[in-house]
Every structure is written in structure tokens, then in C-alpha cells.
Amino acid sequence: MMRDLDHILKTVWPEVRRRHLFPELPTPEYGEGDQRVGLDIKGKKISISKQFVEGISEVMEPQKALEGLLDHAVSHYLYCPWDFSTHLKLYREAKKVLKDTQMAKRATDCFIDVVADTSCVSQKDTPLPELYKHLQRGSMEEAMHALYQKIWGMDLGVEGHHEISRKLSRLPYLDRSRWKESIRRFARAIHYLLEEEEREGNLDKPSSMGNHSLDQYSLQEIEKGLQELASDVNSPTEFKEILQDFKDEILKGDMNSEQAMGLGPGRSSDANILYYMKLAENYLLPIRRTPMEKSGSLYPHHHVPWEVGSPYHDIDPWTSFGKIMPGITQTWQRHEGSVFSHEEGTPNCIVIIDSSGSMTDPTRHLSHAVLGAACACDAYLRNDAQVAVYNFSDAYIGAQRILTYSRNRREIYRTLCHYFGGGTQLQMESIEALQTDRVPDIFLITDMQITNLEIMIEYFNSVKNRVTAVHIGNNKQVQTFRSSMALRDNVGIYAVGKKEDIPRIVLGKIKEYLYTLTP
């Protein structure tokens, strides 16, 4: 029997792949499982419970059972949820209605199953309905199968559940643009069934077709999903809440990976760091590289015909056939050569961030200052540069945090996200200590309500660094700063009032360099 099943799987899989237009999925294998749960998907790898197939073979052909299971699994990959990002979006809507993590997870699982299976049944010649006819059913499964019976128009041998199947049958499962609205109505309708399952302790038990844990997604998909979630949610608190719901799975994935996302066991505050990290990835700020310098030397560049009266020393005898004759003789035209200076590429950057009381607390609400600084750090790190962070509030009484040049994202974002919430005073000596021989860029983000603003202006007037100053909001101090820096070519000033202003920042954009680049 076991050899037979191996053989059947080998013959069935190419047929299922062909039916679904050859999806790029690894060949499924038999895995450990029980007689009740047929499927498990981990990192795109479909694993089928042999015990389940053996059990169901008593009532239907094993080939059909395998086909049905594989159709179900492939439909998840190809249609719903498609990716982790969609999965999270659906979960978020279900959670809004149900307000309970386990219930929302279960409702999302059910919805995803209905959509994937219905799409498969409506478009493919699949034995899924036959498989559903023979599956073991709890109360939730029975309601779902009653729904299938109604919307697929096939007899699956379910009786009762007329009201719930009637309510659920009117949702447009195959309209992707309405999934968010549909899952809310779906969750609302099955709320009583979820409560029933909770009472019976069945809420976290997988259905016959398996659960939809995060294991099925690759780490890259999870990272992308979190990135999209960060830009979708209204506040870091909401992000943290959803992240908390999937904490175990994310931690498991994070620890298995060499390029950890930024979460560590027992560090729930890291959710804030991850939020800004992922949000910053949505804004790829451009850095103007330090331009090439002219060397001052002249090099032969191209030929021009020699004319009578022109000097002889640049004549090229090889292309002139050994003759001195206008029209035949060629002479070299020389151009000034360009070479890379010592500072070719992207310099390191000192990020100065204001976390005084007048700034938004980044752990509670979306802080444009932290987001802007995070985007800047992300841009420098992507360009192989190092970042030093100076986070200040009342620096003279110790409310400042300094991170020396580093490429450790986690530490950089941790320093950025620290919130002092006190007065606003800079200690220029601390910034000066971060200056190096290789002149770094400076990125400053503040609302400019700085007690010793004059000292800071004086300092920026004296340095040669490329300075990108970003002010949050507008006030008298901003005007003072702008007018004091008006004549400085190495200072670029930007205003940020909303998220959409951030992509307008060009790091290290300096008038002086633009002028020298203009021919």
C-alpha cells in the first residue's frame, strides 16, 4: 500500500501542476501527520499525511484524494491568500470584528479556505467536492461544507446549517477587490460558531485540510508583508498589536534565519523598531554621491584634422600616414581627465534626532521624525556607508544617546526610537566628537524648538559637511534657521508635515556640487 501511495503521488503531481498551469512549487512529499489532518505546508513545501490518505482510501480512490488535497494546497499558493501580506490584511479585518486573536485566526483560515476552494472548483476539473464529502467534520466544518454545498451546487452530504449557509452564500468570494469587506461580514456571521468552538476547546485545532500558519511563507514574504503592514496601519500601536498576535511564528522564523528581522525573544519593545524599519523600507531616499573631481591633467581624447598654423607637437604620425598636409594629417585633441577623488561614493552619516517633549512619542503614534531619520539611515546603509546616531533632548543633563559609527541596523533603529520627552538642548561637543577625517554627511531632524539654536546655527555655519536638515512643522525658530542657512551651499533644508513629504528629501543634495557638475 505504501509503495502504491508513493507511486500515485508521483503520477498525480504532474497532472495537478498541469491543471494549475505549472506553478513553481517543489514536489510534494509524505510527511508526519495524523489520520484527521491531511495537509501541511511549510515554506511552499506541501507535505501530505500518509495516514490521512490511507484512512480516506477506504471510502474514495486514493488518487482522487491526493488530487483534491494538492488542488487545495496549490489554490492557496495561486489564489488566496497568495502571499503573507494578503493573509495579514485579511486577519486584520477579521480581528477588527472579532476582537480576539484565536477567533480571528480561525475565521481567516476558514475564509481563505472558502475562497481558494471555490476558485478551484469554479475553474478547474477537481475532485475537491468528492474529498469534502468524506472528510470528518466538527461544527465549523459542517457549516462550511453546507456553504460549499450551496455555492458549488453539489451534494456533499451535509444537512442543516441552512441559516448560516444562506448568510454566507451571498458574499462575493471570487472578487478580490472586496475581500476586506467580505471577511468582515464572514467573521460576523460565524462569530457564534467560533464562540461555540472556543467553549468546546476546539478553536486552535486544525481542520482536515490543515492550518494556515506563517510556516507556509518564506522569510522574504514575511518581511515584505510586515513592510506593507507598517504602511497600512494607522499607528505603531496597531502594528505592535498585530505583531504580538503572530509573535511565536515570527520569532520562530527569525531565529531560523541568518538575516534576522530585528525581533528577539522577550523583547516586545522591538516591535516599534521593526515598525519603523519596515516602514522606512517603503521610502527609498536617494543619496547624491560625492562627485568625481577633475584631475587638472590633459589627456589625448580624439582626433581632429590638422590645419596650417596649428602646433606640431600633437600630430599623430600613425593616423597621418607620415605626411604633414592639411586635410590628411590628424592631430590629437586633448581633454581634461576625470578621476575619482578620495571621497568617491557615499560618505558616512551622523544622524541627529530630536526626541524632546515637543516631538511625537514614536512608540504611541507615527513619528515623522523617527520615520524620516529611519529612511535616511536605511539609505546610507544601503549604500554601504556607516551611520552614527545622536539622539537628544536635554543633552546637558544627560538626556542624550550616542551610537558611534555602525552598520548594525537593530542598534541604529533602537537609538532612533528612544524617546526622552524632555527639554531640547544640543551638546555640540558630542557631535564634534563624531566628526572624522573623512568628512561625514549630517542629517538633522527636529522641530527646531531648540534652546541653544544659535549655537547650533553657528556650528553648522562653520562645518564643511553636507547637511540635510529636516524640520517637522513650521515655527519662528524654523524661519530663523532657514534664514541663517540661506547662504550656505552645503545645507539642504526640507519640511516634513506628513508621510508623503519624506520621499522629497534628497540626502546630501548640495547646491555647490550641482554647480560644479554643470558644464
Partner 1 sequence: MRNPFMDFRSVHYQKKEIPLERIVKAKQEVMDRILESYFSIVEEEAKDLVWLVEHSRVVKTYDAAKESIRDLEYDQDDIEEFCAQLDSSQKVPYMISGPAGIYISALVNHIAQDSIVLGLKDYERTFHFLGFRLPEGKTLTLQGDVGDFIGAGLSGGRLVVEGSTRNWCGAGMMKGEIFVSSHTGQRTGEWMRGGEIHVDGNIWSTGKSIFGGKIYNRGKIVIPKESD
Q: Which of residues 398-457 bind partner 1 (CB under 8 A)?
A: none
Q: Are 488 and 461 in contact (CB under 8 A)?
A: yes
If residue 496 lies in a helix (H) or strand (E), which one and from where to where? strand 491-496
Q: Which is nearer to partner 1, 98 or 426 (CB)?
A: 98
**Using CB under 8 A, which of 4, 61, 181, 200 touches partner 1?**
181
Amino acid, single-letter form, for residue 5: L
Q: Are 41 and 215 in contact (CB under 8 A)?
A: yes
Site stretch for partner 1 (CB under 8 A), options 118-126, 246-254, 429-437, 466-474? 118-126
Site stretch for partner 1 (CB under 8 A), options 181-189, 239-247, 431-439, 500-508? 181-189
Amino acid, single-letter form, for residue 184: R
CA–CA separation, 444 and 492 (whole Å): 10
**Checking phi first, is residue 405 left (phi over 0); if not, alpha (psi -120 to 50) or beta?**
beta
Q: Which is nearer to partner 1, 122 or 516 (CB)?
A: 122
In angstroms, give the least distance from the CB of 181 to partner 1. Answer: 6
* Burial class of residue 175 in the structure, from the number of CB atoms within 10 Å of its CB (0-12 exposed, 13-18 middle, 19+ buried): exposed
Q: Are strands 387-392 and 400-406 parallel, antiparallel or unpaired?
A: antiparallel
Mutual orientation of helices 270-280 and 368-382 as an angle, nearest 10°?
70
Q: Which is nearer to partner 1, 8 or 190 (CB)?
A: 190
Tell me, by CB under 8 A, how many residues bind partner 1. Answer: 31
CA–CA separation, 138 and 491 (whole Å): 67
Q: Which is nearer to partner 1, 174 or 251 (CB)?
A: 174
Residue 187 within binding range of partner 1, rule CB under 8 A? yes
CB atoms within 10 A of CB 326: 11
In angstroms, give the least distance from the CB of 62 to partner 1. Answer: 24
In angstroms, give the least distance from the CB of 128 to partner 1. Answer: 12
**Using CB under 8 A, which of 2, 3, 22, 201 touches partner 1?**
22
Residue 21 within binding range of partner 1, rule CB under 8 A? yes
- Phi, psi dihedrals of residue 297, rounded to the nearest 5°: -90, 150
**Using CB under 8 A, which of 11, 27, 122, 139 touches partner 1?**
122
Q: Which of residues 1-20 bind partner 1 (CB under 8 A)?
A: 18-19
211 secondary structure, DSSP code: -
Site stretch for partner 1 (CB under 8 A), options 120-128, 252-260, 345-353, 419-427? 120-128
Site stretch for partner 1 (CB under 8 A), options 31-39, 148-156, 308-316, 456-464? 148-156
Q: Which is nearer to partner 1, 7 or 162 (CB)?
A: 162
Residue 457 corresponds to which cell in the numbers above? 546655527
CA–CA separation, 232 and 210 (whole Å): 29
Residue 152 within binding range of partner 1, rule CB under 8 A? yes
Residue 151 within binding range of partner 1, rule CB under 8 A? yes
DSSP letter for each residue of 44-81: TEEEEEHHHHHHHTTTS-HHHHHHHHHHHHHHHHHTSS
Closest CA to 508 of 402, 293, 388, 351: 351
In angstroms, give the least distance from the CB of 191 to partner 1. Answer: 6
Q: Which is nearer to partner 1, 245 or 447 (CB)?
A: 245
CA–CA separation, 159 and 136 (whole Å): 14
Task: List the x/- string, 91-110, binding to partner 1 by CB under 8 A.
Answer: ------xx------------
Residue 167 within binding range of partner 1, rule CB under 8 A? yes
Q: Enumerate binding residues for partner 1 (CB under 8 A).
A: 18-19, 21-22, 97-98, 118, 121-123, 125, 150-153, 166-167, 169-175, 181, 184-185, 187-189, 191
